[in-house]
Structure 1
Amino acid sequence: MIRKATSADRPRISEVRLAVRENQLSAASVSKVETTANWIFENAAFWVWEEAGTVQGFSVADPRDGTIFGLFVHPDFEGRGLGRALLPLACEDLRAAGFAAATLTTGPGTRAERFYRTNGWEEIGRKDDGEIIFRKSL
């Protein structure tokens, strides 16, 4: 089942985020991610995939800047289509906020890079740390 997250889902969303094998949070990023997540919980939406009574994946957009803030699936549920089902909901949130395109970043050589390329995202540059910047028209 896909639904909007509630505050009760927040601990499990954090568990899913911390369980991923790629794109792990650095210690320096934790506070920035928490600040952004707080704002989104108060002003926008996290979308969650719930299965067996537990959140197994989520997507979230930041309607302040047109970015996909996160798309994460618990490792036990990878490869089952959760990401393909959740990502369009975050993109729709950006379209509804007035954006014509969405952007995101991810590490090179990752499953995420392959996922975004396969799903129509276009590389538009690289950050100084090598992360790929992707863009997709909404």
Structure 2
Amino acid sequence: MGIAQAVRWRLRSPTVARDLSENALSDPPKVTLEDIRWLIVNPGIFVREDESGICGFSAADTRNGSIWALFVDEWHCNRGIGRALLERASTTVKPAGFDSIWLTTDPATRAERLYRRAGWRLIRNQEGELHFERSL
């Protein structure tokens, strides 16, 4: 199956807790109820699904030109899913008026390796958080 825009949400908490152990949200209070509501109706949310179910998702934030989230189930890593989700989410930012896109991640993670291999440029390391950017 391919990548599609998310049209409804379902969440399996034990799976999410296990899969996000490497890159847990560092400051949950920063994610407001308004953010969650906006992200649910946002056109920049994409999922990758196969016969076993949802194996990854990405979220672009067209309000600020960022990749807000990108996660792939650990059993589906190293298959190109993360890169495909990253590219698809990136396509929603340019029509919103941005010439570049940015994201942040923790150092020494699979995510950092993915972004570097996909051509993203490290622009700063601020208080242990890596800030990457890419021209669109």
TM bin (shorter chain): 0.7 to 0.9
The alignment yields a C-alpha RMSD, in angstroms, of 2.1
- Check whether the contact 1:20–1:73 (CA below 8 A) recurs between aligned residues: no
Give the deviation of 1:54 after TM superposition.
Answer: 1.4
Q: Which runs of 5+ in 1 are unaligned?
A: none
Residue type matched to 1:134 in 2?
A: F
* 1:108 match: secondary structure: coil
Q: Which digits, 9 at most, give the CA deviation of each residue in 1:35-68, with x for residues without a partner? A: 4232122243310001115111011100000110
Give the percent of matched residue pairs that are identical in Structure 1 and Structure 2.
40
Q: Who is 2:6 aligned against?
A: 5
Q: Which runs of 5+ in 2 are unaligned?
A: none
1:132–1:33 distance in 2 versus 1, CA, 3 Å: farther
1:103–1:97 distance in 2 versus 1, CA, 3 Å: same
1:20 partnered with 2:20: yes
Identify the structure with the greater helix proportion. Answer: 1
TM-score, with length taken from structure 2 = 0.87
Give the deviation of 1:98 after TM superposition.
Answer: 1.1
Give the deviation of 1:114 after TM superposition.
Answer: 1.1
User: In structure 1, how many angstroms separate the alpha carbons of the residues matched to 2:30 and 2:133?
Assistant: 26
Aligned length: 134
- Check whether the contact 2:58–2:69 (CA below 8 A) recurs between aligned residues: yes
TM-score, with length taken from structure 1 = 0.85
Q: Who is 2:103 aligned against?
A: 104
